[in-house]
Amino acid sequence: MFRLFDREHPTGPSPAVDIIPLGGLGEFGMNMLLVACGETALLVDAGVMFPEPELFGVDLVIPDISALERYDVRALVLTHGHEDHIGAVPHIFTRFQGPIYGTPFTLALVRPKLEEHGLDPGDRLHTIQPRQIVEVGPLRVEFLRVTHSMPDCVALAIHTPAGVIVHTGDFKIDQTPLDGQPFDMHRLAELGAQGVLALLSDSTNADREGFTGSERTVIDGFEEVFSNAPGRIIVAAFSSSVYRLQVLVDLAEQFERRVAFVGRGMQHMSQTAERLGYLRIPAGLQIRDSDVRDHAPEDVLCLCTGSQGEPMAALPRMAIDDHRHIHIESDDTVVFSARVIPGNEKAVGRVMNHLARRGAHIVSDDQKRVHVSGHGSGEELKLVLSLVQPRFFVPIHGEYRQQARHARMARLVAPAATVLMAQDGDVIRFDDEGGRIADRVHTGRVLIDGTRSGEIVDEVLRDRRHLAGDGLVVPVVVIDGQSGEIESMPEIITRGLAVDPKHDDVLRDLPGVLTRALAAAPAEERTDPGLLKERVRQELQRVFRRRVGRRPLILPVVMEV
């Protein structure tokens, strides 16, 4: 029943098919999945995760893809254009030579990412449409339209020798999508009737009851905001929420307000979406951010970045009066039209406090329906399970508690399905013996410094944590290069040491302590800068450990005269 290619393999066992999540299970973001049949493999998505505060100086986190070395990766298939699904594409682009498949909007977001990293995509970007099928070795990938918070999102039906594997990507079931392109439930039901080997389904909102709701549900809340706002309306949202941008542009036209896109990400996304026909802006409605000051406040709508409190984004800069063109006034209404990502609560709270000090009226989803999720809630997840009725079910995307909740739903809705609770690195194998977690490969995280200086190794991160926790001490020692005699009293430079009387006492004593310690050292050691630096480091570490109980990072400087 589940043998797709029986005509090609009339006798003998079907080749095993392995599914290996490299990221995106038990966490939000960093989505990446490997599907392998024999030596041939394809990747599904290549996403990033944004770092936790304790990852000092880290801009992006991507999956460790060292496990790819054992496979012949023939293609990368992208489900949609969110950063947690495409952000790592430039970092894996050179690790394989095959095509990258995606919808027009998705690839329009990928191309500039590659170019920013100095990579020429050439002819490797292949545009696909829903219901299209592409072949990757023995695998056939069928694309199915799904609805989400941005245009051009697809699920995948991967036809393998072992059976059909359905990967939903990120989705919700929007019955009234703004672009008129509905969720392809008909094809999903056909696949279910024909027999689906395994379903891998988005678990992000598995702990939410009911239905998520259409993107249209925010219209009423925003109409109320537009009707009551005496001055400018400033809406902070994810720039990728193109449907939200369309709702706001339509309302701006209805309420006779001009629209300014503020922030580099918002400007780039709006231009790309308008160029491809996914965002319709009436002629004469849009103004530049530099022109906002030339219009009456009650005639302006600003759509900006910064809904998560990112320090350099547009709204946080406005909040501290540091934006070149826009300054918050007491009659302004600021709307946070995005869900706060866990971990960003303090940053968003700080921005709200700064806005409140400037007299702005603040509106969030807690007060009015100005945001709707792009992920399906419980009833939508049950509907997909009911349509597909897979033999095996693997909950993906989201933290473990969401995956576990999704698994419980599967046991109720599709009781014949075997649930496989996988983790990143698990090898899920389908063969003539059935489906199971058969092995593990090495997975992990790679930390990326956004300056493009490369990956941040453990030692660098450890030093950054060390600096943040205990500070920095730079002892400067001047010696005679010939005799090794100390020419002057050592100087001690500090950064990041806590203000404490014990520190003051130690810092006052250190030059004398160092002078005595170096005077007692052999002349050969004093004339060797490397040995002298190590002596200075050890002496200062000993003093700080004994007298202060701290271990600042010590960087000796030896100057020879």
| Domain layout of the chain by residue ranges | 17-210+373-449, 215-363, 457-560
Annotated catalytic residue 406: no
Distance CA 374, CA 358 (A): 32
- Dist CA 330 CA 459 (whole Å): 48
Distance CA 140, CA 142 (A): 7
**CATH of the domain spanning 215-363, picked from 1.10.1780.10, 3.30.390.50, 3.30.70.100, 3.40.50.10710:** 3.40.50.10710
Backbone angles phi, psi at 277, to 5 degrees: 85, 10
pLDDT at 17: 97
Is the four-CA dihedral 500, 504, 505, 506 of positive or negative sign?
A: positive
For the segment 367-409, what is each residue's pLDDT rounded down to a tens digit?
Answer: 999 999 999 999 999 999 999 999 999 999 999 999 999 999 9
123 is annotated as an active-site residue: no
Q: Among 208-212, 297-301, 488-492, 519-523, whose mean pLDDT is lowest?
A: 519-523
- Per residue in 326-357, pLDDT (tens digit) is 999 999 999 999 988 877 888 899 999 999 99
Q: How far apart are CA 204 and CA 397, in angstroms?
A: 6
Instruction: Give the active site residue among 85, 375, 406, 503.
Output: 375
| Model pLDDT for residues 473-490, shown as the tens digit of each residue | 888 888 876 777 888 888
Third-level CATH fold of 457-560: Ubiquitin-like (UB roll) (3.10.20)
8 A C-beta contact, residue 129 and residue 143: yes
Q: Where are the alpha helices (DSSP H) in 436-528?
A: 458-470, 501-519, 523-526
- Cα-Cα-Cα-Cα torsion 48, 54, 59, 65, nearest 10 degrees, comes to -40
**Residues 487-501, mean pLDDT to the nearest whole number:** 76
Residue 500 has pLDDT above 70, yes or no: no
Q: Which of 315, 373, 311, 305 is CA-nearest to residue 346?
A: 311
Tell me if domain 17-210+373-449 and domain 215-363 are identical in fold. Answer: no
Rounded CA-CA distance 238/83 in Å is 11
Asked if the model's pLDDT at residue 70 lies above 70, the reply is yes
Structure tokens at 353: 């406090």
User: Which residues does 187 contact at the CB level (< 8 Å), separation at least 6?
Assistant: 131, 144, 157
Instruction: Please name the residues in contact with 54: beta carbons below 8 A apart, sequence gap of 6 or more.
Output: 465
Q: Exposure string (b/e) for 22-60, b if CB count within 10 Å is 16 or more?
A: bbbbbbbbbbbbbbbbeebbbbbbbbbbbbeeebbebeb
**Which residues touch 421 (CB under 8 Å, ≥6 apart)?**
394, 395, 403, 404, 407
- Using one digit for the tens of pLDDT, what is the confidence trace for 103-118? 999 999 999 999 999 9
Burial of 402 (0-12, 13-18, 19+ CB in 10 A): buried
Q: What is the pLDDT of residues 178-230, one digit of tens each?
A: 999 999 999 999 999 999 999 999 999 999 999 999 999 999 999 999 999 99
Query: Which of 64, 202, 365, 426 is an active site residue?
Result: 202
Task: Output the six-digit token pair for 559.
Answer: 């100057």
Radius of gyration of the chain (CA): 29
CA dist 203 and 397 (Å) reads: 5
Helix 242-254 × helix 219-228 angle, to 10°: 40
Domain 17-210+373-449 has CATH 3.60.15.10: yes
